A and B are shown apart, each in its own frame.
Chain A
Amino acid sequence: MAHSAINVFFAGNNFSRILQGLWTSVWIAGASLIIGLILGTLLGILRTLPNKIIRFILRLYLEFFRIVPTIVLLFLFYYILPRTFHINWPASWMAVLAFSLWVAAEFGDIVRGALESVPLVQKESGLALGLSRVQLLRYVLLPQAVQLELPATINLATRVIKTTSLLMMISIMDVVAIGQQIIEANNQKYPTAVFWIYGLIFFLYFIIDYPLSKWSKQLAAKQNR
């Protein structure tokens, strides 16, 4: 009874709970992105320095976060870190921490790549005008790097938003976790609710991620022209 199953949205406060779950996912993704982008910019700049030791350490850091599956990262931050280091933060903060470090690693690599692909003569003509290293970065290299790194950054943002669906694994009431609760609670009354709830969740993720991915494609096409 498809018509009746759609009523599951409006039973009790189901719909507002789903939106609340969505908000949890969105703020965790948003906070992680903001922290991660700031930290990643610093890491990216550090990785363009000639110091081999710094570069090696940051490379290790990047590879660690790239290779370890996100779900393992979340478990690590939720189960192991608090016990070993006696950090008693709420689960959502631990998630923000794990995601931020992941974003910082990946974004650092994007920033490094972008800084390195700014033509050498731009750097030299900045230096020839007497700019200091910091001024060169601030006025010449970073603004040009932002243009180059934008598509990859948006892409990273969409991946972070999608990955928030793993948050339920560390008992955060994100949109997927709440969806499952609703499905289980209404299993008797609305057997096809699973289709509607997941359909709604799909739709919600889609309306957040699709414009972003479209934007990044457009920017990339513009740059290739």
Chain B
Amino acid sequence: MTKEVLRVEHLNKFYGDWQALHDISFTLHQGEVLTLLGPSGSGKSTLIRCLNGLEDFKSGAIYFKGQKVETNSKNWQELRQKIGMVFQSYDLFPNFTVLENILLAPVKVQKRPEEEVKTEALRLLKRVGLEKYVNSYPRELSGGQKQRIAIVRALAMHPEIMLFDEVTASLDPEMVRGVLQIVTDLSQVDHMTMIIVTHEMNFARQIADQVLFLENGKILENTPGEEFFKHPKTNRARGFLTSMDF
């Protein structure tokens, strides 16, 4: 049995009176890929954002490597160095070059030597095929390129989990594959532990070890990946898979 990295217990989240997440519980082990599926507005993004403190929650608990997470901002700041996140919109800092974007957090937050991080950044950029853009500014890059660099920027922090929040949702169709390939490689080559919110069903099927199917902030299914796509248990999930034309 592999080591447990993340465990969520009975998490409830409210926006005012409206309950966005109902009693969410799940466990994620090292090297596993968890995908969050479900219709728009089902709470997938809210859930993934709760996992690195970008959203607070009312009750329940998150355990990181067996330790209960204290939900104060100081503690989240520490933890976020181990939990990488990539967003839907291309979120590189426009005032920095590609290299500066990647160096910023490892050098300023983790206080690692700049030369060491630079070598690693160049290696990672090479891996995603963008080493020649090392000194470019984000505005000179396409959406797909920016998204690949956002992934590199998160990886340079040596995270123990990566969170991907619909990272291909606003990309041109031809850019999508390149980005998904990088995510797939991260799982297969690096055995990175990941949580992925996506609407790319083929990708989800190929990569997911575990699927959480959400609707209206509730987990309707928590199934091993292959099982969910072959034999969805609930009618709602069946309907969802059909509607995704899959």
CB–CB B108/A147 < 8 A: no
Q: Does A187 contact B (CB under 8 A)?
A: no
Query: For the complex, what is the distance from the CA of A122 to the CA of B96, rounded to whole Å?
Result: 12
Query: For the complex, what is the distance from the CA of A126 to the CA of B153, rounded to whole Å?
Result: 11
CB–CB A143/B95 < 8 A: yes
CB distance from B90 to the nearest CB of A (A): 9
Q: In chain A between 124 and 178, which residues have their CB closer than 8 angstroms to a CB of chain B? A: 124-133, 135, 139-140, 143-144, 147
CB–CB A124/B54 < 8 A: yes
Which 5 A-B pairs have CB atoms at the shortest separation, nearest pair first? A125-B91, A129-B105, A130-B81, A128-B85, A143-B95
Residues from chain A with a CB closer than 8 A to the CB of B78 are 130
CB distance from B155 to the nearest CB of A (A): 11
Residues from chain B with a CB closer than 8 A to the CB of A133 are 73
On chain B, the number of residues with a Cβ less than 8 Å from chain A's Cβ atoms is 27
Q: Does A121 contact B (CB under 8 A)?
A: yes
Residues from chain A with a CB closer than 8 A to the CB of B84 are 128
CB distance from A4 to the nearest CB of B (A): 58
Residues from chain A with a CB closer than 8 A to the CB of B109 are 129-132, 135
CB distance from B71 to the nearest CB of A (A): 14
Query: For the complex, what is the distance from the CA of A140 to the CA of B104, rounded to whole Å?
Result: 10
CB–CB B54/A127 < 8 A: yes
Q: Does B77 contact A (CB under 8 A)?
A: yes
**CB < 8 Å neighbour of B77 from A130, A139, A143:** A130
CB–CB A132/B104 < 8 A: no
Q: Mask for B39-78, Cβ within 8 A of A = 1, else 0? A: 0000000000000111000000000000000000100011
Query: What bracket does the count of chain A residues touching chain B fall in?
Result: 10 to 19
B108, closest chain A residue (CB): A135
Q: Does B133 contact A (CB under 8 A)?
A: no
Q: Does B14 contact A (CB under 8 A)?
A: no
Residues from chain A with a CB closer than 8 A to the CB of B95 are 140, 143-144, 147
CB distance from B176 to the nearest CB of A (A): 20
Query: For the complex, what is the distance from the CA of A167 to the CA of B114, rounded to whole Å?
Result: 52
Given A125-B87, A129-B157, A144-B95, check contact A139 B54 (CB 8 Å).
no
Given A130-B77, A131-B105, check contact A140 B93 (CB 8 Å).
yes
CB–CB A121/B91 < 8 A: yes
Most chain B CB within 10 A, of A119, A125, A140, A143, is at A125
A126, closest chain B residue (CB): B93
Instruction: Give 14 pairs: A residue, B residue, CB < 8 Å, sorted on A.
Output: A121-B87, A121-B91, A122-B93, A124-B87, A125-B85, A125-B150, A128-B83, A129-B80, A129-B104, A129-B109, A129-B157, A135-B108, A139-B108, A147-B95
**CB < 8 Å neighbour of B105 from A119, A121, A130:** A130
CB–CB A128/B52 < 8 A: yes
